Amino acid sequence: MDLVISLESNNVLPLHRQLYEELRRAILSARLRPGERLPSTRALASSLGISRATVTQSYEQLISEGYLQGVVGSGTKVCVQLPDELLRTAPVKAAAAPQQQRKPQLTRYGQSLDDSVPLEPPEPELPINFKSGRPALEEFPLTQWRRLLLRHCRSDQAALLDYATNLRGLPELRHAIAEHVARSRAVRCTAEQVIIINGSQQAIDLITKLLIERGDTVAVENPGYLGARRAFLAQGAKLQPIPVDENGIVVERLAALPPQLVKLVYVTPSHQFPTGVVLPLARRLELLQWAETNGAVIIEDDYDSEFRYDSRPIPALQGLTENANVLYVGTFSKVLFPSLRIGYLVVPTSLTHVFARARWIADRQTPTLEQLALTDFIREGHLDRHLRRMRTLYDKRRQVLVRALRHHFGERVSILGENTGMHLMVRWQTKLPAEELVRRAAEAGVGIVSAALYYLERAPQDEFVLGYAGLSERRIQEGVRRLAKILS
Nearest distance in Å: CB 140, ligand PLP: 15
Residue 218 phi, psi dihedral angles, 5° rounding:
-120, 125
Rg of the chain on CA atoms, in Å? 31
Q: Which of 20, 303, 377, 409 binds ligand PLP (CB under 6 A)?
A: 303
Question: Pattern of binders to ligand PLP over 265-284, x per CB under 6 A?
Answer: ---x----x-----------
Which is closer to ligand PLP, CB of 301 or CB of 463?
Answer: 301
d(CA 102, CA 107): 15
C-alpha span between 233 and 243 (Å, rounded)? 19
Least separation in angstroms between residue 134's CB and ligand PLP is 9
Calpha distance 298→316 (Å, rounded): 12
Query: Between 81 and 120, how does the x/- string for binding to ligand PLP read (CB under 6 A)?
Result: ----------------------------------------
Residue 273 or residue 468: which is nearer to ligand PLP going by CB?
273
CB of 228 to ligand PLP, least distance (A): 7
Q: How far is the CB of 379 from ligand PLP (least distance, A)?
A: 22
**Do strands 248-249 and 194-197 pair parallel, antiparallel, or not at all (unpaired)?**
unpaired
SS3 track for 119-153: CCCCCCCCCEECCCCCCCHHHCCHHHHHHHHHHHH
Q: Which is nearer to ligand PLP, 133 or 479 (CB)?
A: 133
Tell me which of 145, 225, 232, 307 binds ligand PLP, using CB under 6 A.
225
**Nearer to ligand PLP among residue 133 and residue 470 (C-beta):** 133
Write b or e for each residue in 453-467: b if 16 or more Cβ atoms lie within 10 A of its Cβ, otherwise e. bbbbeeeebbbbbbb
Query: How buried is 249 (Cβ within 10 angstroms: 0-12 exposed, 13-18 middle, 19+ buried)?
Result: buried
Interface positions, 373-412, toward ligand PLP (CB under 6 A): none
3-state helix, strand, coil in the chain (%, to 5): 45, 15, 40
Q: What contacts 94, CB < 8 A, 6 or more positions away? A: 30
- Nearest distance from C-beta of residue 430 to ligand PLP, angstroms: 25
Torsion sign (Cα): 250, 255, 256, 262: positive
Task: Count the neighbouring beta carbons within 10 Å of the beta carbon of residue 488.
Answer: 9
| Residues 79/28, Cβ–Cβ less than 8 Å | no
Amino acid identity for residue 455 in this structure: Y
Query: Binding of ligand PLP at residue 133 (CB under 6 A)?
Result: yes
Longest dimension (CA), the chain: 95
Q: Does 290 bind ligand PLP (CB under 6 A)?
A: no
CB of 450 to ligand PLP, least distance (A): 16
DSSP state, 420? B
Judged by CB under 6 A, the number of residues near ligand PLP is: 13
Q: Which of 300, 301, 418, 462 binds ligand PLP (CB under 6 A)?
A: 301
Q: Considering beta carbons, is residue 200 or 368 the nearer one to ligand PLP?
A: 200
Site for ligand PLP in 328-367 (CB under 6 A): 331, 333, 338, 343
**Does residue 188 sit in helix, strand or coil?**
coil
244 in helix, strand or coil? strand
Q: Which is nearer to ligand PLP, 236 or 338 (CB)?
A: 338
Q: Toward ligand PLP, which CB reaches closer, 303 or 328?
A: 303
The residue among 44 and 136 lying less far from ligand PLP, judged by its C-beta, is 136
Kindly state the smallest distance separating residue 301's Cβ from ligand PLP, in Å. 5
Q: Tell me, residue by residue from 151 to 180, as one string, x for binding to ligand PLP by CB under 6 A and - for no binding.
A: ------------------------------
Q: Which is nearer to ligand PLP, 61 or 247 (CB)?
A: 247
Q: Which is nearer to ligand PLP, 50 or 314 (CB)?
A: 314
Nearer to ligand PLP, 45 or 466 (CB): 466
Which positions from 182 to 221 touch ligand PLP by CB under 6 A, shown as an x/- string? -----------------xxx--------------------
105 exposure class (CB count in 10 Å sphere: 0-12, 13-18, 19+) = exposed
Chain positions contacting ligand PLP, by CB under 6 A: 133, 199-201, 225, 268, 273, 301, 303, 331, 333, 338, 343
